[in-house]
Amino acid sequence: MTRLVMKFGGTSVAGPERIRAAARLVAAEAEKGAQVAVVVSAMAGETDRLLALASGFGGGLGDSETDAALAAGEQVSAALMALALGELGLKARSFLGWQAGVRTDGPPGASRIAGLDAAPVLAAMRAGEIPVLAGYQGVDAAGRVRTLGRGGTDLSAVALAAALDAQCDIYTDVDGVYTTDPRIEPRARRIDAISYDEMLELAAQGAKVLQTRSAEMAKARGVKLRVLSSFAEPGKAEGTMVTDAGLIAERRIVSGVAYARDQARISALGASDRPQAAAALFGALADAEVGVDMIVQTRARDAGTANIEFTVDRKDLPKALKAAEGAKAAAGAREIGHETGLAKVSIVGLGLNRRADVARILFEALGEKAIEVKVIATSEIKISALIDNDAVERAVRALHAAYGLDGE
């Protein structure tokens, strides 16, 4: 019998009507003969509301009791979903993270799933019940309730699907993964199938449909994912399949264009060109838990010196500057400079490394729109360009057209 995990995000369980609509989608799959398990997010806005309440008492993301408060959001939606399935005549039962054996490690507010014991959920399925798991939560080794980081219900769903050897359908408010953000480029198209690696890059580069860590786990555990809309009638959603590159028929050079606003650039000027200098700098940033993105080292004017530049999220700038200043002497840098008001646009595609002219197309497309490229970084399946924040829309549209992604 095929097993299916159906995950519903916050907008898909936003209120009684949405919960009932989601329950009908579950019923339709169960009717087709699949063994279904459901995973739910908190009702839209609920996690923010609970976080604000906890903040009123000095709590924040990262402390224990805030986690206990946040986990309540998913407790409510899981119970309501089980009730809604009951209304349709189905047997259902809600599970909190700890009841489903979701074990975590790592800090409050950003825990990882260390393991998931599928036995309780499987037992319910075998007894003809539909288990409804509260996403985003688990329990740590000390028995404390923990949450998995914002958007973490995706991770709960993928972990459950891996444990059940099931396909994982992620229901959301868009009908799949798009070639770019349709709010910026109305000619964006839904992608039928995309590889794990492309999905990971798109997520890491700012596409928000799927939590990055969940795509990583899906790849590592070979979980077949589908992203689709819960606003479609049962059986009508097409969605996007996220799977192995080898299983994708359509051969594209570029699959999508992603962007991330609010980037900042930091430069360590006249640093020593010995690798130890860069190691001291990036070591300090790692210790401060700053995620560093694009890194460029160029030779500086004076012999033996280099300019090291890198980008960080704007919100991490104060932390990053403090860390960089602290490492300035060890890196032998003359000056630590920074620039804000930047953004990153990226093209992602499995075919990028097969074609020699992809970089030329990028520079030409941005050049024609008089968009300055400040830093460029490439990987096997991605090229990112650092540009001005206010050029994002123009850049996304120019690249979408230049790589032939515009729909008819």
Residues at the interface with ligand ASP (CB under 6 A): 9-10, 41-42, 47, 73, 135-136, 150-154
Nearest distance, CB of residue 73 and Mg ion, angstroms:
13
Query: What residues from 241 to 270 belong to the interface with Mg ion (CB under 5 A)?
Result: none
Q: Is position 73 an interface residue for Mg ion (rule: CB under 5 A)? A: no
Q: Is 334 exposed, middle or buried (0-12, 13-18, 19+ CB in 10 A)?
A: middle
Q: Which of 151, 206, 256, 349 binds Mg ion (CB under 5 A)?
A: 151
Q: Which stretch binds Mg ion (CB under 5 A): 44-52, 143-151, 306-314, 380-388?
A: 143-151
Q: Which does 198 bind (CB under 5 to 8 A by kind): Mg ion, ligand ASP, none?
A: none
Nearest distance, CB of residue 111 and ligand ASP, angstroms:
12
Nearest distance, CB of residue 208 and Mg ion, angstroms:
8
Q: Is position 108 an interface residue for Mg ion (rule: CB under 5 A)? A: no
CB 267 within 8 A of CB 309: yes
Q: Which of 6, 8, 9, 181 binds Mg ion (CB under 5 A)?
A: 9
Which C-beta is closer to ligand ASP: that of 209 or that of 268? 209
Structure tokens at 84: 């809604």
Which C-beta is closer to ligand ASP: that of 147 or that of 240? 147
Nearest distance, CB of residue 10 and ligand ASP, angstroms:
5
Q: Which does 150 bind (CB under 5 to 8 A by kind): Mg ion, ligand ASP, none?
A: ligand ASP
Phi, psi of 193 (to 5 degrees): -145, 140
Which C-beta is closer to ligand ASP: that of 134 or that of 391? 134
Which C-beta is closer to ligand ASP: that of 214 or that of 384? 214
Nearest distance, CB of residue 346 and ligand ASP, angstroms:
24
- Cα separation, 174 vs 239, in Å, equals 9
Residues 6 or more apart whose CB falls under 8 angstroms from that of 168 comprise 4, 5, 7, 157, 158, 160, 161, 218, 223, 224, 225, 226
CB 134 within 8 A of CB 43: no
Encode 371-382: b = buried (16+ Cβ within 10 Å), e = exposed. bebbbbbbeebb
Length of the chain: 408
Q: Is 53 helix (H, G, I), strand (E, B) or coil?
A: helix
Q: Which does 176 bind (CB under 5 to 8 A by kind): Mg ion, ligand ASP, none?
A: none
Q: Report, in angstroms and rounded to the nearest whole number, the Rg of the chain calculated over CA atoms.
A: 23
DSSP β-ladder status, 167-172 and 225-229: parallel
C-alpha dihedral (276, 384, 259, 350), degrees to nearest 10: -120
Q: Which residue from 116, 40, 35, 118 is spatially nearest to 83, judged by alpha carbons?
A: 40
Which C-beta is closer to ligand ASP: that of 179 or that of 229? 229
Which C-beta is closer to ligand ASP: that of 112 or that of 400? 112
Which C-beta is closer to ligand ASP: that of 77 or that of 240? 77
For binding to Mg ion (CB under 5 A), which residues are involved? 9, 151
